[in-house]
A and B are shown apart, each in its own frame.
Chain A
Amino acid sequence: MISSHKVELVCPAGSLPALRLAVDNGADCVYVGFRDQTNARNFAGLNFDDRALNEGIGYAHAAGAQVFVALNTYPQSASWPQWTRAVDRAADLGVDAVIMADPGLMEYAARTHEHLRLHLSVQGSATNHEAINFYYEHFGIRRAVLPRVLALAQIRHVMANTPVQIEVFGFGGLCVMVEGRCALSAYTTGVSPNSDGACSPAKAVRWEQTPRGMEVRLNEVLIDRFAQGERAGYPTLCKGRFEVDEKLYYAFEEPASLNALELLPELVRAGIRAIKIEGRQRSPAYVAEVTRIWRQALDACLADPDGFQVRSAWMGALCGLSEGRSYTLGAFDRPWK
């Protein structure tokens, strides 16, 4: 535990190599998931079995870092034991916290594992202090990860009205919709972020070169078409180009990553307890680079929030790692809404 940092850097890892690199590059906490639908990045070839997680926890703890396990999908009645077993496994392996969304599962965890630290996942859709305090009073959550919907002033207000620590997303893929309240993928592909732990799944993607350009479909629904030389991004539903009233545009959001680096001093001053980097599905090299830059930035900011200046080298490198090579402040910035 690095107690001298009052703001933790929470980094993603979809594999043991990514976890090691996150720790090596200065993550205070690394969050991971098991290899199944108990977490919201349920992708083939990704995530941890018990052995890998055990090794990862050992590695992180030896370096003074923490490991959180995301169990942040909504369990189905028919496969409920799979989720409770996942809670038990995480507790038995000695993780530092579990990140959850389902109230039933949180109740199970709070009753069964008294000392297991609970964090409310972004998938829990808690955007206001009444909701956060609900989870605090019933399950004793210690931290809540805010959905990417609040402007800075709204975040300050939430923090003033809850004893729960607040974690916000600083960088990575941007959900345009309120997490936990989006059924676009389920509607289009049958794969639900809430219950299957994946959005716009690769198995539903079909690329096709046509006379009109490169077309990409999700389960037969045309998400975008790219002209020769145009950068063709992954067909996440809410980042496609559609026609509304005969206008063609990114009706929901351009392909861009969230990057709140320039807001660090304000976030730190506001009393945020942790900054989260999205991207368990990204490569170890990506995790290493993003972690390294954010570590430097956060250290600089914590040392001197008033004198903090964003270095162009950081922004350049982060931009190169961003979706569509561009970034946005998302809902932190009111005009985005």
Chain B
Amino acid sequence: MSTLKLSLGPLQYYWPRSRVTAFYEQMARLPLDVIYLGETVCARRHELRAADWLALAEDLASTGKQIVLSTQVLLESEPDVKALRQVAENGRFLVEANDMGAVRLLQGRAPFVAGATLNLFNGQSLRLLARLGAMRWVVSPEIGAEKLAAIHAERVAGVQTEVFGYGRLPLAYSARCFTARHFKLQKDVCEFRCISFEDGLRLRTRDGDPFLVLNGIQTQSDRVQNLIDELPSLQNMGVDILRLSPQSRHMPQIVQLYRDVLNGTISSLRALDEMRAFMPAERCNGFWYGKPGLIQEAA
């Protein structure tokens, strides 16, 4: 049985700079093995510039945690590509490639993490990316346990598997900014309204049920995927890393509870019970069971 490591995924939301700094100061002290940094959602967000992220990476590296720079998912313009090139050629930190454009810049240059938006759905694609230098791949949240087991049967030795364990699911990306649209603004003059919504802007159905979350050009699930009670099966399957996705409040408690369950100091049942007060919404795990992502299956 493998020892599952814990990673902190890239911050999906747009927070004021001081907030980001304070957040990562907290994270630095937590039992996390890997921290992903960088703006992956929107190139217009600028509270932290590329140099700031690099400086933050440098600071956090001194904690002994593995630091990874994540690239922007949707690349539309030459400035986007230039920013990507800067990250890919940083020469110091591991990079998570979230677009094939990033893979092209990283292949043969340095080992990299193949991000979830590369859509690796089968062994053939995974082996190809491994040949090009992927030392780890992040499983698309759509892929459940059964499909993952089938891919694992063809996995190349030495390529780590990372699964999205906790957080609102990143479901979709668009050229359009839905936060700006909500305020009847165009993206180019968005007034950075998303900075007011530290966990995104909640969208409900017409009968009032929370359904999705608008986060700029990204759409997330309202429900929080939480695989805390799946840790034994994740380990048995040979998953190496479990990703926890940042939220504005109670993130230290969430990280600590995952660590406690992994250490065997508390049961997943008890952790789940404690987590209820720390989660921004109901939980779900449907994707893991090959079902609609929004449902919650009994483990």
Contact = CB atoms under 8 A, between A and B. Distances in A.
B266 interface: no
A133 B104 contact: yes
Given A105-B124, A125-B119, 8 more contacts: A77-B150, A80-B124, A129-B81, A134-B103, A195-B142, A244-B204, A251-B181, A331-B175
Interface stretch (A26-34, A218-226, A257-265): A218-226
A334 B186 CA distance: 8
Contacts of B203: 242-244, 251
Interface residues of B, number: 71
Nearest to A246: B204
B125 A104 contact: yes
B282 to A, nearest CB: 14
Interface string B125-144: 11111000000000011100
B95 to A, nearest CB: 14
A129 B81 CA distance: 9
25 contacts: A103-B100, A104-B123, A104-B127, A107-B124, A108-B124, A129-B101, A131-B100, A133-B104, A150-B76, A178-B74, A178-B174, A182-B171, A183-B140, A183-B169, A183-B171, A184-B212, A187-B286, A189-B292, A192-B142, A222-B207, A223-B205, A242-B206, A245-B202, A336-B175, A337-B186
Interface residues of A, number: 70
Contacts of A182: 171-173
A251 B182 CA distance: 7
Given A104-B128, A184-B172, A186-B287, A128 B76 contact: yes
Nearest to A247: B182
Nearest to A183: B171
Interface string A216-254: 000101111100000000000010011111011001110
B85 to A, nearest CB: 8
3 nearest A-B pairs in the assembled complex, by CB-CB distance: A104-B124, A130-B101, A104-B125
Given A76-B122, A104-B128, A131 B187 contact: no
B105 interface: yes
B204 A242 contact: yes
A165 interface: no
Given A131-B104, A243-B206, A187 B122 contact: no
A326 to B, nearest CB: 17
A127 interface: yes
Contacts of A178: 74, 172-175
Nearest to B210: A243
A183 B178 contact: no
A182 B73 CA distance: 12
Given A105-B124, A107-B124, A180-B119, A244 B169 contact: no
Interface string B255-299: 000000000000000000000000000000011001111100000
Interface of B: 73-78, 80-81, 84, 99-105, 117, 119-129, 140-142, 147, 150-151, 153-154, 169, 171-178, 181-182, 186-188, 201-209, 211-212, 214, 219, 221, 286-287, 290-294
B44 to A, nearest CB: 11
A243 B204 contact: yes
Nearest to A147: B175
Given A76-B147, A186-B287, A222 B117 contact: no
A184 B218 CA distance: 11
A141 B186 CA distance: 35
A331 B186 CA distance: 12
A176 interface: yes
B175 A150 contact: yes
A246 to B, nearest CB: 9
Given A135-B100, A194-B142, A149 B175 contact: yes
A93 interface: no
A103 B142 CA distance: 18
A337 B187 contact: yes
Contacts of A75: 121-122, 124
Contacts of B75: 127-128, 130-131
Interface in A166-184: 176-178, 180-184
Contacts of B293: 183, 186-188, 190
A102 B101 contact: no
Given A157-B78, A181-B73, A222-B206, A244 B214 contact: yes
Contacts of A183: 140-142, 169, 171-172, 293
Contacts of A78: 147, 150
Contact of B292 (A102, A150, A176, A188): A188
A188 B78 CA distance: 35
Interface centre among B122, B173, B186, B207 (most CB of A within 10 A): B122
Contacts of B126: 104
A24 B208 CA distance: 50
A251 B125 contact: no
A67 interface: no
Nearest to A149: B175
A337 B203 CA distance: 19
Nearest to A253: B176
A296 interface: no
A327 interface: no
Interface centre among B99, B126, B206 (most CB of A within 10 A): B206
Nearest to B124: A104
Contacts of B120: 103
B101 A128 contact: yes
A280 to B, nearest CB: 21
A130 B174 contact: no
B182 to A, nearest CB: 5
Given A77-B147, A131-B75, A131-B99, A102 B122 contact: yes
